[in-house]
Amino acid sequence: MTDIEIVPIGRPVASQLREKLEASLLEAAPGQRTLPSAVLWGDDVALKLYEQYQALPEVYATRDETALLRRWGADISRHIASGSVLIDLGCGDVNKVKPLLDALEAAGKAIQYYALDLSDHALRRNLAKLRAMAYQHVCCSGLWGTFDDVRTWAANEARPIVYLSLGSIFGNDEFDIAVRDLRVWRDALRRQDLMLLGVDGSPDPDQVWKSLNTRVPGVPHLVEHGLALSNAILGHEWYRPHQWQLAGVCKKHDAVCTHQWVVTAVEDNACAPLGFRAAKGEQIRTVKWFRWGPDGMRRQFDAAGLELVGSWPSPTGPVYEYLVRPGQ
**In sequence order, what are the beta bridge partners of 138?**
111
Nearest-angstrom CA–CA distance, 320 and 20: 30
Residues with Cβ within 8 Å of residue 176, at least 6 apart in sequence:
none
Walk me through the domains of the chain, giving residue ranges and CATH numbers: 18-56+205-290 (no CATH), 60-201+292-326 (3.40.50.150)
Residue 325 pLDDT more than 60? yes
Q: For residue range 17-51, what is the model confidence (pLDDT) as tens digits? A: 999 999 999 999 998 999 998 898 888 888 888 88
- H/E run at residue 309: strand 306-313
Give the pLDDT score at 287: 84
User: What average pLDDT does range 183-202 have in this prediction?
Assistant: 97
Nearest 5°: the CA angle 70, 74, 78 is: 145
Q: What is the pLDDT of residue 42?
A: 82
List residues bridging with 312 in a β-sheet: 321
User: Residue 206 — very low, low, confident or very high, per pLDDT cuts 50/70/90?
Assistant: very high
Neighbouring C-beta atoms of residue 267, cutoff 10 Å: 12
The mean per-residue pLDDT over the stretch 95-111 comes to 96
For residue 2, pLDDT beyond 60: no
Handedness of CA 45, 51, 52, 53 (dihedral sign): positive
C-alpha–C-alpha distance, residues 43 and 231, integer Å: 13
Whole-number pLDDT of residue 280: 97
Using a pLDDT cut of 90, give the percent of the chain over it: 75
pLDDT of residue 94: 87
Mean pLDDT for the stretch of residues 143-167: 95
Q: What is the mean pLDDT of the chain?
A: 93
Which of 40-49, 53-62, 201-210 is predicted least confidently? 40-49
Smallest Cα–Cα separation from 79: which of 5, 164, 173?
164
Which pLDDT score, from 0 to 100, does residue 1 have? 42
92: closest CA among 37, 131, 46? Answer: 46
Give CA–CA dist 201/137, Å, rounded.
33
pLDDT of residue 178: 95
Secondary structure class of 264 (helix, strand, coil): strand
Phi/psi at 194 (5° precision)? -135, 165
Q: Which amino acid is at 304?
A: A
Residue scoring higher pLDDT (242 or 94): 242
Average pLDDT on 45-62 reads: 88
Residue 85 has pLDDT above 60, yes or no: yes
pLDDT score for 226? 93
Encode pLDDT of 278-310 as tens digits. Answer: 999 999 999 889 999 999 999 999 999 999 999
Q: Is 24 helix (H, G, I), strand (E, B) or coil?
A: helix
How far CA 52 is from CA of 95, 218, 238, 287, 297, in Å, comes to 13, 8, 28, 19, 29
- Over range 175-203, report the average pLDDT: 96
> Which residues, other chains included, contact 254 with Cβ-Cβ below 8 Å and sequence gap of 6+?
none
Residue 15 CB neighbour total at 10 angstroms: 10
Average pLDDT of the segment spanning 191-201: 97
More confidently predicted of 105 and 47: 105
Tens digits of residue pLDDT in 214-234: 876 678 888 999 999 999 999
pLDDT band at 131 (very low <50, low <70, confident <90, very high): confident
Amino acid at 126: N
Ordered strands of the 319-326 beta sheet: 6-8, 138-144, 111-117, 85-88, 161-165, 194-200, 319-326, 306-313
pTM, whole model, 2 decimals? 0.92
**Cα-Cα-Cα-Cα dihedral sign, residues 106, 110, 115, 121:** positive
Average pLDDT over residues 154-182: 94
Q: What pLDDT score does 275 carry?
A: 95
Q: Give the pLDDT confidence score for residue 236 in this predicted structure.
A: 97
What pLDDT shows up at residue 55?
86
6-8 and 138-144 beta bridge pairing = parallel
One-letter amino acid for residue 269 of the chain: N
Amino acid letter, residue 327: G
Q: Supply the pLDDT for residue 40.
A: 87
What is the model's pLDDT at position 324? 98
Q: Are strands 283-291 and 256-265 parallel, antiparallel or unpaired?
A: antiparallel
